[in-house]
Amino acid sequence: MYDNNFNNNNEHQAFYPQQPSEQPQMAKPRKKHSAAKVIALIAAVAVIGGGAGFGSSYLTSKLLGSSVTENGGSASNDGTSSKNENSNSSQSNNSSTENKPTLDELQSGVQITHKVPAETEFNSDGSFAYTRDLVAAVRDSIVYIEVYTRQYYNAEEPYGAGSGIIISSDGYIITNAHVVDKMDRYVVHVTTTDPVEGSGVVDEYEAELIGSDTDTDLAVLKVKAEGLQSAVLGDSDDLRLGDDVVVIGNPMGLESSVSKGIVSGLKREQYSSSERGLSSIQTDAAINSGNSGGALFNMYGEVVGVVNSKLVYDYAEGIGFAITINEAKEVINDLISIGYVTGRPILGVTCLEVSEYVGAIQGMTPGLYITDIDRDLAVADSELVVGDTIVKVDDISVTSVSEVSKILADMKPGDAVSVTVVRVDSLGRNKEVEFDIILSEYSGS
């Protein structure tokens, strides 16, 4: 979905699900391109696969000093696009797992704080009888996140805003990756509501980015605080069609806004260009710009989803989505305890995508033309050399990174993959060479 953008400059574009072009589009953030534009329809990329049940490859360019993600994001060194030096999950202070808590440890003992009068009514199954009492109990676990970027001359300006969910009393907060990605500073507004008066006091905290994963659109922030109200992460597998759900977030900058609806669909897939996606909950509860990263609550006051998108279409109303919390938990745990999502295989090369069309124009072999090999990964010990063109992976013809990503999607680090390359010999003749490459683990760098 869209973030609230202070500059009102439409910094986002539609995200297209895998369906006919005349169908609705899914809202997805657009990133600035600048230096990421490369010559003659050839994109410089580093090939890795999906993993942990989630998809989408990363594209990392070494041309023009830019870093490019498959969903169009980029960061350049010329100052035209913001780049948080700690925005990559493996580059923040997460190089060591020592003293890093797990999600289970953070959630241990967390209970819903019923900041409601004693006469609050509950149903026989323990769920809240009235939405107003549920909201009073959980609203302080939802935060307002402002993000800032530095532009020319290091001048800082507000870029947008979103929502977040407190998951520990000492300040761990989950949100969407597209809320915080490529930003330079994060300010979190935490509200503490007086249970009697109903008035709230807002405290502002500078936040540290612990980890961010664009494949799953999840991120973790941390503020230095104690005694915050933590949300309880529930079990999204218990949801049934028609269940009542409540969304709390900050649409259009309107802090602590509440909307209510039902579960309209389960196991919805929000597809990326690698044709793998997150399992999501569909709801008709109102979702708008700024709700990104907020919570979808069940009627027990438990978080069952992380709100991240809505359907934007002339003929569509009330079709919003939230990442299922059960699938999100593994990602959140990795981001907190390690700093990146584990188990994703990486081939470890930088290459140019050469299509049939470009190959015919440029006189190149269609495939993935190798421009660099990561000497710190297992691929360095293979027969692959710079100048080779990968034409097949596991006997499947490839000309794009997304095609390789699909092949690697069900593999894991340490697996061997067969690669066929076209190599030019000393006499200028093309010859095919086939060998195996051991996949390494992608660590976000």
Enzyme catalytic residues: 178, 217, 292
| Residue 169, number of CB atoms within 10 A of its CB | 15
- How far apart (Å, rounded) are the C-alpha atoms in residues 441 and 422? 26
- How far apart (Å, rounded) are the C-alpha atoms in residues 314 and 316? 6
203 — phi, psi (to 5°)?
-110, 140
Encode the chain in three state secondary structure: CCCECCCCCCCEEEECCCCCCCCCEEEEECCCCHHHCCHHHCCEEEEECCECCECCCECCCCCCCCEEECCCCEECCCCCCCCCCCCCCCCCCCCCCCCCCCHHHHHCCCCCCCCCCCCCCECCCCCECCHHHHHHHHHHHEEEEEEEEECHHHCEEEEEEEEEEECCCCCEEEECHHHHCCCCEEEEEEEEECCCCCCEEEEEEEEEEEEEECCCCEEEEEECCCCCCCCEECCHHHCCCCCEEEEEECHHHCCCEEEEEEEEEEEEEEECCCCCEEEEEEECCCCCCCCCCCEEECCCCEEEEEEEEEEECCCCCCCEEEEEHHHHHHHHHHHHHCCCCCCCEEEEEEEEEECHHHHHHHCCCCEEEEEEECCCCHHHHCCCCCCCEEEEECCEECCCHHHHHHHHCCCCCCCEEEEEEEEECCCCCEEEEEEEEECEECCCC
Q: Which of 160, 223, 161 is nearest to 190 (CA)?
A: 223
Q: Which two tokens stand for residue 354?
A: 């050469």
Interacting residues of 118 by C-beta distance below 8 A, sequence separation 6+: none
- How far apart (Å, rounded) are the C-alpha atoms in residues 172 and 254? 23
Residue 444, by phi and psi: left (phi above 0), alpha (psi -120 to 50) or beta?
A: left
